[in-house]
Amino acid sequence: MTPDGPFINCEMAAIADLYEQYPLDRQSWLRVFDYTTRQGLRLQERVSAGCYVSIMGHSDALGGDYPEVPSSFFRNRCLVAVLPEDYRDHVVLPAGGRLQAIQLYFPLSDHNMSRLCQSASSPGLERFRELSAGWLTPLTGALAGAAEAIWQCPLRGEARHLWMKAKALEILALLMADPGEPALVDRACGLIRQDLSQTWSITALARALGTNDCYLKQAFRSELGLGVAAWTQQQRMQRARRELTHTDCTITDLALSLGYRHSGHFARVFRRHTGLSPSHYRQHRQSGHR
């Protein structure tokens, strides 16, 4: 089946292997990707607002809008998410890079899918501003088996279409029956965000999650591109910017609530991240919201 729009700005001759799209009903569809580039490519796609289930197998792709997110972030994971508005996506694949994915689309009016998308949340998705709700789960067990069956399907013609549709419905049923355990890094991020005044050591965090230090440290850097301390500080600065913009809490109270022993230390870190002192940032942001 010839692609009908998603990659109109790239050379299809530079892509080998599999790209297919199948209708599930009048408004919903299934796409299957499994291809390797012969040369580096920048793929551009207008993504329609809707509810999505995106399953990633092997992926060397980098998001053009999020170059800091490693390609391993979505690898062997399933994303269930709501995109409230149309979005122009940019994906970069290096020469010889592989993208193996399954994508299901449903309109925003599909209430069952909307509820599924909002049935859980994953802290690691906060950076993706275009998503209004969503969660990630590891690609394991029956879900991984259904995805692999789609990528390896040997059928052709109408039989292939029916097989693909049946497997898409199986994936939905599996997700609805059991959304799955949040990934280790998502659970770690959730613990940290519960109380940003607490400073977690990698050892204490690993113990709380029932894993070992080295595995958690490696997983954190692989999926988020940051260590635990750097990610925690990033979250503190995001919270600080939000509080300074929308509340009248004192600088001292804000510093203490974010785990800084005194406001001077907080102010130095904040200036390093934003180029402004907390008071000047508040003045600038709040004047802009009047």
pLDDT band for position 183 (cuts 50, 70, 90): confident
Average pLDDT over residues 276-280: 93
Place of tokens 């069956």: 149
Per the structure block, which two tokens stand in for 47? 């993504």
Cα 211 from Cα 209, distance rounded (Å): 6
Residue 13 — pLDDT band, cuts 50, 70, 90? very low
Percent of the chain at pLDDT exceeding 70: 90
User: Has domain 12-182 been given CATH number 1.10.443?
Assistant: no
Structure tokens at 95: 């020469």
Per residue in 205-253, pLDDT (tens digit) is: 999 888 888 888 888 887 777 888 988 998 899 889 888 988 889 999 9
- Confidence class of residue 46 from pLDDT cuts 50, 70 and 90? confident
CA distance 215 to 61: 24
pLDDT at 163 over 90: yes
Confidence of residue 59 (pLDDT cuts 50, 70, 90): confident
| Average pLDDT, integer, range 51-63 | 89
Q: Phi, psi (5° rounding) for residue 194?
A: -60, -35
Sorted by where each begins, the domain ranges of the chain are 12-182, 185-288
Length of the chain: 290
Q: Long-range pairs for 161-165 at CB < 8 Å and ≥24 separation?
A: 161/22, 164/20, 164/22, 164/30, 164/32, 165/22, 165/24, 165/30
Query: CATH topology for 185-288?
Result: Arc Repressor Mutant, subunit A (1.10.10)
More confident residue, 38 or 288: 38
